Amino acid sequence: METRAYDELIGRLKEHSLLASCGHVLGWDERTYMPHHGSAHRAEQMALLARMTHEMLTSPRIGELLGQAEGSLDSTTADSIPAANLREIRRSYSRAVKIPKRLVEELARVTTRAQQVWQEARQANDFAAFRPWLEKIIQLKREEAQAIGYASEPYDALLDEYEPGATAAEITRIFADLRAELVPLLKQILASGRQAAREILEREFPVAQQETFGRAAAARAGFDFDAGRLDVTTHPFCSGIGPGDCRITTRYNLRHFNDAFFGILHEAGHGIYDQGLDPAHYGTPLGSAVSLGIHESQSRLWENQIGRSRPFWQYFFPQARQAFPQALANVALDDFVFAINDVRPSFIRIEADEATYNMHIIFRFELECALVGGDLKPADVPGAWNEKFEKSFQLRPPTDALGCLQDIHWSMGGIGYFPTYTLGNLYAAQFMARARQDLGDLDADFSRGEFGRLKGWLHEKIHCQGQRYLPAELCRRVTSKPLGHQPLLDYLRNKYGLLYGL
């Protein structure tokens, strides 16, 4: 293939990513250290960067170069790295040119401010304060969906940003399959008569020790702290800023071990993915994460499949006892493992166990589809949320802070983001099942605190692939099967079967 156009295109893409990555630093700062009164100025900065990166990506020259480079692909290069790069650049370009610059800038500005408002509204349990911002965001995202266009549902246009190639219809189907088997499993668990001593986890866990212990576990799992950080935020996240710089955050709860520890493992899982991207392809699709669903599979895998497993704690529990002697000195390993896997309906998604977690996502997905479709008004979100929550869990959130205000996503404009969490759980289970086939006795590794073989496998099969394949195709290549709900259910049935004697 003729490479001049391709090379110029890649150069421009890299520059675009570099400027976007400046925005990532600002975004991280906004949520960790920015002073309160810096919010308005930050919104202007973010809007400017959003507009400039949008301009770079939608420059007519990108269109010309794309056309020329695509034209020079032939049958010998159809499956090459350049072909994959061009496919994904075309996807981003086509999407970006359809969104008016005004809309890009307004979304950046509105969502930067809205995140601050959300943070305060959540603290004050004041949905009314957040409502006008949610209305504005939904309106802008509906405009965005119209501008992008879609085959059947406007939601698809938004979803595609996070999970390329996925559709609401497909997700509806796989979520329905999952729910059909999950609801009876949940009933079985709750009817088992067994209850974990979750009180173990609600003793006093000094924050400084939580940090040290969580940091050590993340490092042992493979998160590189020379190329990353751990900080404190209201809503934990992972931000891959660029080669050598990936940052995770958490929040500490003196009286709940799970929040920070599993949060750290979760974000470290994201971080290990980001740190595993190929720096030689930085700034191009081949050096970028493929989708939020796949990203989430990596965090879920470390948080749950590994972090909540008995072998993991065979290694870490003695250390945990040393770190938290007052809380854990008299606790047995199996009681601890049961406690961290306690299944109980609860209000907060990020504190949910693995069995109920997906029910949180399924109803959020339904609410989002209705919001984007225009069937639900933002003002009616609290009522609709509580109703759906009650149907799923036979509990009603006593406050909006424990209900529709709990998550940051909508304030960030992240509509279409939630379903990727459950996609992540599904992918994680399917990947892990395959890794166990390929690598033999991983539990023996984990019980010795060894995670290198698994990390290497994930690196080779997933991380360093970047966007070489679409998520669905990547899944087929790694596991020889399309994504299904069975591996996750098998995993949950096996785990809870043992714990609850089902």
Give me the residues that bind its own copies (CB under 8 A), please.
Answer: 15, 18-19, 21-23, 25-26, 29, 33-42, 44-45, 48-49, 52, 224-229, 231, 241-247, 282
Minimal distance in Å, beta carbon 112 to its own copies?
Answer: 13
Answer yes or no: are the C-beta atoms of 272 and 302 closer than 8 Å: yes
* Residue nearer to its own copies on the CB measure, 164 or 271: 271
* Residue nearer to its own copies on the CB measure, 44 or 473: 44
Q: Which is the catalytic residue, given 30, 70, 267, 296?
A: 267
Give dist(CA 67, CA 410) in Å, integer: 36
Minimal distance in Å, beta carbon 390 to its own copies?
Answer: 40
Sign of the torsion angle spanned by Cα atoms 26, 31, 37, 41: positive
- Written as six digits, the tokens of 61 are 């020259």
Minimal distance in Å, beta carbon 236 to its own copies?
Answer: 17
Sign of the torsion angle spanned by Cα atoms 58, 60, 62, 66: positive
* Residue nearer to its own copies on the CB measure, 54 or 141: 54
Minimal distance in Å, beta carbon 457 to its own copies?
Answer: 24
Minimal distance in Å, beta carbon 227 to its own copies?
Answer: 4
- Written as six digits, the tokens of 161 are 């940003």
The CA-atom distances, in angstroms, between 197 and each of 12, 335, 341, 349, 495 are 56, 7, 10, 21, 17
Minimal distance in Å, beta carbon 28 to its own copies?
Answer: 8
Give dist(CA 45, CA 41) in Å, integer: 6
Minimal distance in Å, beta carbon 384 to its own copies?
Answer: 36
Q: How far apart are the first and last CA of the chain?
A: 60
* Residue nearer to its own copies on the CB measure, 243 or 497: 243
Q: Is 129 buried (19+), middle (13-18) or exposed (0-12) by CB count in 10 A?
A: middle
Give dist(CA 175, CA 117) in Å, integer: 32
* Residue nearer to its own copies on the CB measure, 41 or 391: 41
**Active site annotation includes 267:** yes
* Residue nearer to its own copies on the CB measure, 111 or 309: 111
- Per DSSP, the three-state class of 229 is strand
Give dist(CA 10, CA 281) in Å, integer: 10
* Residue nearer to its own copies on the CB measure, 141 or 270: 270
- Alpha helical stretches, state H, 324-451: 325-328, 333-340, 354-373, 381-393, 419-439, 442-447
Give dist(CA 435, CA 76) in Å, integer: 32
* Residue nearer to its own copies on the CB measure, 113 or 308: 113
Torsion angle in degrees (nearest 10) through CA of 66, 68, 70, 75: -160
In SS3 terms, 428-452 reads as: HHHHHHHHHHHHCCHHHHHHCCCCH
Minimal distance in Å, beta carbon 301 to its own copies?
Answer: 23
The CA-atom distances, in angstroms, between 182 and each of 306, 369, 490 are 21, 22, 11
Give dist(CA 188, CA 212) in Å, integer: 38
- CA nearest to 400, candidates 383, 416, 413: 383
- Written as six digits, the tokens of 299 are 């965090």
**How many residues are recorded in the chain?**
502
The CA-atom distances, in angstroms, between 445 and each of 142, 150, 317, 449, 478 are 48, 46, 15, 6, 21
Minimal distance in Å, beta carbon 151 to its own copies?
Answer: 38
Minimal distance in Å, beta carbon 232 to its own copies?
Answer: 12
| Residues annotated as part of the active site | 267
